[in-house]
Amino acid sequence: MPRIDAAGSHQTVITTFEMTPGTCQDLLDELTSAYEDFISRQPGFIAAGLHVNDAQTRIANYSQWKRREDFQAMLRTTEMRERNRRIHALCKSFEPVMYDVAATFG
């Protein structure tokens, strides 16, 4: 389970995917497969979540990694580069952005 903690030393990556409603489920299937079959088994992976907006035009992905380098190494693998080409074909755009937790509430 993702844990949001400003005192934590892990790396947070938030990726937003923009797509049409017609490709939303295909993209969600592709992302789910990537996490279940590959990403979640990579060194440094902690947890992730996928969120779909009501209009099915955006998917937000929240993932946590032990270190920035773990996430970057996963992206550089041949398998993930191939998966990202398929993912890119299903959406208008996507961009992973690394964040540090600045504050938490609740």
User: What is this structure's pTM?
Assistant: 0.91
The residue-averaged pLDDT of 47-57 equals 97
**Domains in the chain: boundaries:** 11-99
Judge contact between 42 and 95, C-beta under 8 A: no
The third-level CATH classification (topology) of the domain covering 11-99 is Alpha-Beta Plaits (3.30.70)
Q: DSSP letters along the chain, please?
A: -----TT---EEEEEEEE--HHHHHHHHHHHHHHHHHTGGGSTTEEEEEEEE-TTSSEEEEEEEES-HHHHHHHHHSHHHHHHHHHHHHHSSEEEEEEE-------
Residues 84-101: tens digit of each pLDDT: 999 999 999 998 999 988
Residue 1 pLDDT exceeds 70: no
